[in-house]
Amino acid sequence: MLRCRRDARCTRFTEWRIMTQSEKSLILLYGGDLQGINKLNTVVFTIYCTVSLYQGGTVIGSARCMDFRAREGRMKAALNLVKLGITNLCVIGGDGSLTGANQFRTEWSTLLVDLVKAGKISDDEAKTSSHLNIVGMVGSIDNDFCGTDMTIGTDSALHRIIEVVDAITTTAQSHQRTFILEVMGRHCGYLALVTALACGADWVFIPEMPPDEGWEGHLCRRLADQRARGCRLNVIILAEGAMGRDGKPIGSEDIKKLVEKNLGFDTRTTVLGHVQRGGTPSAFDRILGSRMGVEAVMALLEATPETPACVVSLSGNQAVRLPLMECVQVTKDVTTAMAENRWEDAIKLRGKSFENNWNTYKMLAHINPPDTKSNINVAIVNVGAPCAGMNAAVRSAVRIGIIQGHNMLAVHDGFEGLAHGNIVPITWTGVSGWTGKGGSELGTKRVLPSKYIEEISLTIAKFNIHSLVIIGGFEAFMGGLELVTAREKYEELCIPMVVIPATVSNNVPGSDFSIGADTALNTITSTCDRIKQSAAGTKRRVFIIETMGGYCGYLATMAGLAAGADAAYIYEDKFGIRDLEMNVEHLVQKMKTDVKRGLILRNEKCNANYTTDFIFALYSEEGKGVFDCRKNILGHMQQGGTPTPFDRNFGTKMGSKAVLWLTEKLKEMYRHGRIFANTPDSACVLGMRKRALTFQPLAELNEQTDFEHRIPKTSWWLKLRPIMKILAKYNISLDTSEHAHMEHVIKKRVSMPAPLMKKHKEEVEEEEE
């Protein structure tokens, strides 16, 4: 929970200050279900306290409190808050904690009246604490709270699961085994569903959608079919709350006996248990927690007695505020829908992200290729530097294309391979196991098509290619533009094209995220953690670390936020010698306290003169007698490794959506017996923009691009840089002129049954009154 005191000098909250040492304007309190308040188990944090970002769990503790369920317990909590002068709470927990907090807020005025009557507080104290503001943040590995795409902790749990899946896959392939993996999710199948997408599982069991009657035969046929196609292993993912249509639980041992009896396959089961809750937080969770924490404080600062309790949520890539009890109600509605066997409603009520994941899984795992072909040839090419997640996108695109009846062609070695005809058909089994592979199985080069335009047009005609999927970084974007420009001269290039951003640099215009960036970010973050730990027990030390990204400072900035850097130097945020001098002096003063580690990140092309060696020498000289310095250039290790769950899932959905879009475009562009596409919207970049995956014409992105430095002209993540500086203990102001506004979950529930919709509207209207 958070207690925030408004700066008395600030009447408008376009800017607000966070915790100078003298103001101590932020106090953190937490103890699941508010037990910490009951027992005055209060932990006070100012900006000068040190909390390790790499530590999992909660450093301030969490517990369940039965006392708080009774009014007497809530009166004790109210008394403690009044005595401490706390009138703003940020509750971090699941729907139980948030529901209890909302009830606490609803009863607040009557609790104060009872405390005054009992003589435990004075009238003045009651007047000072006349209202209680509450903001919720959802912390749950199950991702079972409706209203947010991702809860804090879910991504880290997926990391633990995928590590086990990758290890199991190795032994399963060696021995031709079937593995059944049971993951957490008593009432929500998110972990199981995303794991199934991320590892290409043959089957997944989730509570929201029990398998159809006769699923036993269907499962066995599918496993046998996969073996017949040459697969050496089968993977089945099971949520712990999985059940059949009859309401009976489905356990891992039940499935094992079924497979062994009907197929005779060597089968093993693994139940992960609480290992999913532990471990180091992923970079995504560290950044999500930081972003949600800032938004929660902003919501508290802007709250009035009339403001309903809200929960800070994530929609796509955008922080939003939703009425707390609306989210709680929708979460309860999921349980009701499941109890009433309304499975489709349960899926929809989980939210758009969950529904999209389920639909993608169904297409990839349960739809057989059609007997009739479309006679459409779709080519897939990787361009630019390789990155983790490329193969997941290729696998998804190939299989969705085959399901649509298309002939899928693999282009090896980028545009150069396309020019030289290095093209082969690629089949369903040809991409088996690709989701977990790093790099590019197709091969990729940085060569642009301009020098091979004529050869490429001839190759397209020779292989009768009707559409093109280009997966890569800025070279893919540039290459797509060059092909579109050449349409005027070469009619063969008048085919639908889609560019899927895939680069560690995350510098492709038209998308907030690129495939591969999350894997690179986690690599940098974990490396920074290890580097800082390497100096444990030694004298004070500052590490200067250089990251990749070209001129794009995404990796340096986000890794700085995730790893707790003191500064991150990037090209987009210009800096000079005065800034360097201020940063060095700040760090020197900081290291004279009980701080023993410093971390400075530098993007590789942030400045031609202020090189990594220069910054290292500067900090070494100015820190003499206080700290010593070490430097590390991370290099190409940032491009390697197995893809993270985010990149596997993101790549899978991007590949699927791209081919489905191309299929529709091919129908639109089919005229007079042939395909002819020369409109701007026939060649697009598929990207994540704020809340959704969108297609943007390549030509329209011209004006949004700095071609000299190969970066977009505007980047959403630049607004997060002040947060990094604040957390590094700089006394600065944060511009909050742009922030989330209160929305309603009802907008996302238009497909609900009429009686349930009517009931919900009445509840919302009653609460608003």
Nearest to 204 by CA among 172, 175, 178, 181: 181
Residue 739 pLDDT grade (very low, low, confident, very high; cuts 50, 70, 90): low
Is pLDDT at 400 greater than 90 in this prediction? Answer: yes
Dist. CA 398–CA 401, nearest whole Å: 5
Reported as a single tens digit per residue, the pLDDT across 223-282 is 998 888 888 889 999 999 999 999 999 999 999 999 999 999 999 999 998 889 888 999
> Over the stretch 690-702, which tens digit does the pLDDT of each residue have?
888 999 999 999 9
Token pair in block for residue 434 = 């690709």
- Residues 4-16 have a mean pLDDT of 30
Other C-beta atoms within 10 Å of 372: how many?
A: 7
Phi-psi region of 420 (alpha: psi -120 to 50; beta: other; left: phi over 0): alpha
- Residue 137's contacts (CB-CB under 8 Å, 6 or more residues apart) are 90, 91, 92, 152, 289, 292, 293, 296, 311, 312
pLDDT of residue 107: 94
Determine the Cα–Cα distance for residues 31 and 44; give it in Å rounded to an integer: 13
Return the beta strands (E) in 337-414 as ranges.
377-383, 407-411
**pLDDT attached to residue 738:** 66
Write the pLDDT tens digit of every residue in 38-69.
433 333 333 334 456 778 888 888 877 888 88
Alpha helices in 200-282 (DSSP H): 215-228, 252-263
Q: What is the pLDDT at residue 737?
A: 66
pLDDT > 70: what percent of the chain? Answer: 89
Please report the pLDDT score of residue 33 as a whole number. Answer: 36
Which is it for the CA torsion 160, 95, 287, 696, positive or negative? positive
pLDDT at residue number 45:
35
- Cα separation, 646 vs 651, in Å, equals 8
**DSSP state at residue 578:** H
Q: What is the mean pLDDT of residues 170-197?
A: 90
Region of residue 464 (left: phi > 0; alpha: psi -120 to 50; beta: else): left
CA distance 680 to 697: 6
Rounded average pLDDT over 519-529? 96
Exposed, middle or buried: residue 756 (CB in 10 Å: 0-12, 13-18, 19+)? middle
Whether 163 and 155 have beta carbons less than 8 Å apart is answered as no
Q: How many Cα atoms sit within 13 Å of 333 on the Cβ side?
A: 28
pLDDT at 410 over 60: yes
Longest dimension (CA), the chain: 91
Q: Give 127-130's long-range contacts (Cβ < 8 A, gap of 24+).
A: 128/82, 128/85, 129/81, 129/82, 129/85, 129/86, 129/87, 130/305
**Two tokens at 589?**
């003063």
For the cut 90, the answer to whether the pLDDT of residue 18 exceeds it is: no
Separation CA 16–CA 558 (nearest Å): 23
pLDDT at 600 over 60: yes
Q: What is the pLDDT of residue 514?
A: 97
Q: What pLDDT does 136 receive?
A: 93
Mean pLDDT of 715-729: 92
Span 711-722, average pLDDT: 94
Backbone angles phi, psi at 309, to 5 degrees: -60, 135
For the cut 90, the answer to whether the pLDDT of residue 7 exceeds it is: no
Please tell me the least confidently modeled range out of 21-25, 84-88, 231-235, 510-514.
21-25
Q: Which tokens sit at 74?
A: 């809530």
Q: Three-state SS for 178?
A: strand
Long-range contacts of 636-640 (CB under 8 A, 24+ apart): 636/548, 637/523, 637/527, 638/504, 638/520, 638/523, 638/524, 638/547, 638/548, 638/555, 639/385, 639/386, 639/387, 639/388, 639/439, 639/504, 639/516, 639/520, 639/548, 640/388, 640/438, 640/439, 640/523
Confidence check: pLDDT of 384 > 80: yes
pLDDT band at 171 (very low <50, low <70, confident <90, very high): confident
Contact assessment for residue 87 and residue 58, using Cβ atoms and an 8 Å cutoff: no
Measure CA 78 to chain center: 36
User: What is the DSSP secondary structure assignment for residue 763, as one 8-state letter?
Assistant: H
Residue 4 has pLDDT above 60, yes or no: no
Q: Which amino acid is at 758?
A: K
Residue with tokens 């088996």: 432
Q: Is 114 a catalytic residue?
A: no
Mean pLDDT of 436-453: 95
Angle, CA of 374, 377 and 378, to the nearest 5°: 115
User: In whole numbers, what is the pLDDT of the chain averaged over residues?
Assistant: 87
Q: What is the predicted pLDDT for the residue at 51?
A: 53
Contact at 8 Å (CB) between 229 and 268? no
471: helix, strand or coil: strand
Residue 4 dihedral angles phi and psi, to the nearest 5°? -120, 135
Global pTM value: 0.89
Q: Retrieve residue 7's tokens.
A: 């700066």
Predicted pLDDT at 29? 32
Residues 206-220: pLDDT tens digits?
A: 999 999 999 999 999
Q: Highest-confidence range of 45-49, 142-146, 473-477, by mean pLDDT? A: 473-477
Query: For 525-580, what is each residue's pLDDT tens digit?
Result: 999 999 988 877 777 999 999 999 999 999 999 999 999 999 999 999 999 999 99
In the set 7, 33, 67, 142, the catalytic residue is 142
Q: What is the pLDDT of residues 152-161, one digit of tens each?
A: 999 999 999 9
Please say whether the beta carbons of 533 and 520 come within 8 A: no
25 pLDDT higher than 50: no
| CB-count exposure of residue 642 (10 Å: 0-12, 13-18, 19+) | middle
Q: How confident is the model at residue 593 (pLDDT cuts 50, 70, 90)?
A: confident
- pLDDT score, position 533: 86
